[in-house]
Chain A
């Protein structure tokens, strides 16, 4: 480890602020008086319960759907297309998804407009509590749509390590139906490899505000939203409650993690029992049909949410049963351009800086770990830690530290906070990509007289170019989506698409939320589209270059 300076630098960038943040959060959160006030707040128990409930249920459902999607795609011969389906929903930030679903499902939303008044007879939006329902069902739906895609990506990455085609063939040859064959043989092998992403899904589900602000229950809100309001309150006594509450959030998250770990052990045992039952389930057409329909409906809902944002952002006053907003769309979009221009510049600048700094940190470290699988796994696990702690907990702590050091609200502080969240994804993509390049290419280049530096630029870098472009798009999208880090490290001074969307969603201004939600959705999607297009143009006549 000590002979790999780039790895040490990379780890320091992530681990030092994360651990310092958690410690500082605990330090300022262990305040008996504030804790007493938190526990005496009306509805706090229900609020914590609804956070845990929505997080746990969404995680379980997402895991199930992700496994089903991969099983159906792999056994149905459209495995290569699955990533393409998941990508738009994956690239869309949580906040945009939340705003879009709210606009789609609300009583005055696009869905009811589409069937009113001809099917429902409604001339006015009905008095239903669909979004922000007390059982948090719409919040769970939002989480499931996003996290299923995230887990599909994690499963697909794990699939590269498993000889799934041979295993599937073997099980099919023994008479098993495609679905059962996959779930009994390959799924357990994949499950073992996605423990960290699964934990991250749960932690995010419990601690998020991005979906809970537009979709979560109102009275009381989820605990993270409660803390968020306390934190943004001008009264320092109430701020102290936020710090104390974040310790509770950490404890609740840890309890839920233990629960999920136990549940997943039980699930593995059930799957093994099912595998040993000898039941072939060779006629699984019906089950596959049901699973496929559920996935399709979910996917369509997500895509419609994007469409709903598009419609609402273009609408001024929009009378209820009309499906399309009337009037001059273009001029309304042009109206918001001057405001949006600055927001776009800040958002894109920050995201591009994050992606470039992240690549500069990760590429040398990946180079130094290319022959050492164990170190790659250890580095990956350490970089993942920020995704396993509730964002609020360590961001509160980091904010306390930044204020002490008088660097809160600086560009460096915001950039750093974004880096912390991008590095695990950059590492997850680039470290294996670097490791799979045949080391003998370098030997060949060296024996032909090329220096190590020339070899890196003329051989290694071109072979890594495609993965690097995708990694850039990924880090860019992560940065665009980040709300809490921008808010806390930026001391509220940075107006990005995420902060503006959250602020307008929080204050109930849906039109403005839709405008910023549109930016949130469009920026990552266009960067991914650009990366994929460039990748297909790059080395288009060179079949041997890794995809």
Chain B
């Protein structure tokens, strides 16, 4: 696996920069946390990396996975796995259908089904393939969303406060599961959060987003 590298990334709204240019590297298997007050552009940073920035925000700077520059690729060709706070399982597909959507189309249907069932079993959701996602608990939905991302074989993981909507028990569980998987697969992971427990559990570098003017103010 290759490192995720940002080179001089900034975001502008109406020509005003949200934060000073960011340049850093996330090594395979490491989790780098991005913290900052709401409105500091944490989530928009992830949106820029994925190429789904809303029209009113303008992004600059380069994004690399290893030696491949992703900056100008279409979202679907970047292969960056994004997890939101809501699990956003497609409501019209079964749990298994959601995972099949993420899984690459290389194999036969039977082989794909088997992989989906194995994946579900690996997170203690055996036999959930035919379930309606709307009937799952928050923690179960998060685990399915994680599997869906992983089955798509991403180059890196981008986590947009994915644990904050969960209750305390499943938060700890899901968080350690996500980090363990990231490490096992050697995925560079960028975590956006405002929860210091998340930052501590991540254990990697911490990047604080601040408004560019703040440094001059004090």
Contacts and interface: CB of A to CB of B under 8 A. Distances in A.
- The answer on A and B forming one complex is yes
Interface of A: 371, 438, 440-441, 443-452, 458-459, 462-463, 539, 541-546
A544 B101 contact: no
Nearest to A465: B92
9 smallest beta-carbon distances between A and B, as pairs:
A544-B91, A544-B134, A543-B134, A446-B75, A462-B92, A447-B82, A448-B152, A443-B52, A545-B91
A183 B91 CA distance: 37
B132 A542 contact: yes
A450 B82 CA distance: 13
A541 B132 contact: yes
B177 interface: no
Contact of A441 (B76, B79, B82, B90): B90
Nearest to A543: B134
Given A447-B80, A544-B134, A546-B91, 12 more contacts: A438-B88, A441-B90, A446-B50, A447-B50, A447-B149, A447-B152, A448-B102, A449-B76, A449-B77, A451-B74, A459-B92, A542-B133
B121 interface: no
B182 to A, nearest CB: 16
For A441, A448, A463, which residue has the most chain B Cβ atoms within 10 angstroms? Answer: A448
A440 B91 contact: no
A542 B91 contact: yes
Interface string B38-56: 0000000001001110110
B84 A440 contact: yes
16 contacts: A371-B55, A440-B84, A440-B88, A441-B88, A443-B52, A446-B76, A447-B50, A447-B78, A447-B152, A448-B76, A448-B102, A449-B79, A449-B152, A451-B74, A459-B90, A542-B132
Contact of A448 (B52, B84, B132, B148): B148
B104 A444 contact: no
Nearest to A442: B52
B101 A450 contact: yes
A541 B132 CA distance: 6
B86 A450 contact: no
Interface string B59-77: 0000000000000001111
B197 to A, nearest CB: 25
Contacts of B101: 445, 448, 450, 458
Given A441-B88, A545-B91, A447 B75 contact: yes
A539 B94 CA distance: 10
Contacts of B102: 448
A450 B94 CA distance: 18
B81 A447 contact: yes
Interface in B127-141: 132-135
Contacts of B84: 440, 444
Interface of B: 47, 50-52, 54-55, 74-82, 84, 86, 88-94, 101-102, 104, 132-135, 148-149, 152, 154
Contacts of A443: 47, 50, 52, 75, 82
Contacts of A543: 91, 132, 134-135
A443 B86 CA distance: 13
Given A444-B82, A447-B82, A450-B76, A545 B52 contact: no
Contacts of A462: 92
B132 A446 contact: no
Contacts of B47: 443
A449 B151 CA distance: 11
Contacts of A446: 50-52, 74-76
A542 B134 contact: yes
B90 A448 contact: no
A440 B133 CA distance: 16
A527 B154 CA distance: 46
Contact of B92 (A448, A449, A450, A463): A463
A367 to B, nearest CB: 15
Contact of A545 (B51, B75, B92): B92
A468 to B, nearest CB: 13
A452 B76 CA distance: 8
A86 to B, nearest CB: 28
B76 A451 contact: yes
A542 B89 CA distance: 11
Contacts of B132: 541-544
Contacts of A440: 84, 86, 88
Contacts of B86: 440
Contact of B149 (A448, A459, A542): A448
Contacts of B54: 371
Nearest to A541: B132
Nearest to B80: A447
Nearest to B82: A447
A371 B55 CA distance: 10
Contacts of A447: 50, 52, 75-76, 78, 80-82, 149, 152, 154
A539 B104 CA distance: 25
B83 to A, nearest CB: 9
Contacts of A445: 90, 101
A448 B91 CA distance: 16
A444 B87 CA distance: 10
A463 B79 contact: no
A545 B91 CA distance: 5
A450 B93 CA distance: 15
A463 B149 contact: no
B92 A542 contact: yes
A192 B94 CA distance: 41
B97 to A, nearest CB: 10
Nearest to B55: A371
B121 to A, nearest CB: 21
A9 to B, nearest CB: 22
Contacts of B55: 371
B88 A444 contact: yes
Nearest to A446: B75
Contacts of B76: 446-452
A463 B91 CA distance: 8
A52 B132 CA distance: 56
A452 B52 CA distance: 12
A338 B142 CA distance: 61
Find the residue from B76, B86, B102 having the highest chain A CB count within 10 A. B76
Nearest to B149: A448
B159 to A, nearest CB: 12
A446 B55 CA distance: 17
A463 B92 CA distance: 7
A446 B79 CA distance: 9
Contacts of B154: 447
Nearest to A539: B92
